[in-house]
Copies of this chain bind each other. A is one copy, B any other.
Amino acid sequence: MTAPLRVAITGAAGQIGYSLLFRVASGEMLGPDQPVILQLLELPVALDALKGVAMEVTDCGFPLVRDIICTDDQATAFKDADIVLCVGSKPRGPGQLRSDLIKANGPIFTGQGQAIDANASADCKVLVVGNPCNTNCLIAMSQAKRIPKENWHAMTRLDQNRAVGQLSNAAGVSAGDVKNVFVWGNHSPTMVPDITHGTIGGEAIADVVDGGWLADSFDQTVRTRGKAIIAARGKSSAASAANAAIDHVHDWFLGTGHNDYVSMAVCSDGSYGVPEGLIFSFPCKITGRGTYEIVQGIEVSGEVRERMQKTIDELVSEREAVADLL
């Protein structure tokens, strides 16, 4: 029998956590034959609610769930974890600037980075979902002495999936027919969705989808989708964010099933002129179970290059804002 993997989830009783846990438990993230032990972390104030959520997981009778641990102690949550999903973060308050949000989250992620590095499996894979996810991930990674830099990712898969959703609707095809669309940079409005190498049913996207819509609407829709969801639902994206986390980890461990790229915000090695060490969304190929490489040799248009510089500049300034934590 396959040994269980320990999956730690922070902020597990929150909205995204509630959409995430049950799909991890059912096998959607790691496949139908991979048992899991859920190690759930919450703030003390949310521990009762978390226990209620864990009761509901038990009430599903999922064959893959071997154990559920509910705790407000980081060392317990991260103990021997094979995968950590950092979902919890301080949300942005009314009128709060992004720079203030970054500083408010900094200490959370230094603490979590240290606790993960001290307690998790030596090859633990970490996905930071809680925003601002790129810089939160940078902060956590900076605390690691033991866990390799390649193992610290932030999530831009939601942005990629939003782009795919828009393109498949525009073309009137299944989302599964849209390939190799990805996002450069920061999970923020400076992100750069890149469709220049993407295909729909094997054809170049610009040959299939209306050029006017692509120019006027597509990019803006993807970059501001989070706000549009809040306006419609009255709540921020939860199930779609959870789904993107599942997609990210699924592909990281099990591959994409095609010769495709996926967007992963990973530690820059200097590819495409992105400063080394930034957590930056690149097109990535999965090379094995839990390993990836940044796709090389992609031609970057002048316009994309210009916009990439803006998202690089933003990430550099975010890094400067938290320099004392790194």
Contact = CB atoms under 8 A, between A and B. Distances in A.
Interface of A: 18-19, 21-23, 26, 28, 35, 48-49, 51-53, 55-66, 158, 160-162, 164-166, 168-169, 174-176, 178, 225, 228-229, 231-235, 237-240, 242-244
Contacts of A60: 161, 165, 239-240, 243-244
A315 B219 CA distance: 56
A245 to B, nearest CB: 11
**Secondary structure of the A side of the interface?**
helix
B22 A239 contact: yes
Q: How many copies does the complex hold?
A: 2
A219 to B, nearest CB: 15
B232 A49 contact: yes
A53 to B, nearest CB: 7
Q: Which 10 A-B pairs have the closest CB atoms?
A: A63-B176, A52-B232, A52-B233, A61-B175, A61-B164, A56-B240, A58-B165, A59-B240, A61-B161, A60-B243
Contacts of A48: 232
7 contacts: A19-B19, A35-B174, A49-B233, A51-B232, A55-B225, A56-B233, A60-B165
B239 A56 contact: yes
A64 B168 CA distance: 12
Given A58-B169, A59-B162, 20 more contacts: A18-B239, A22-B242, A22-B243, A23-B26, A28-B28, A35-B174, A49-B234, A51-B232, A55-B233, A56-B240, A58-B166, A59-B158, A59-B161, A59-B165, A59-B229, A60-B161, A60-B240, A61-B160, A61-B161, A61-B175
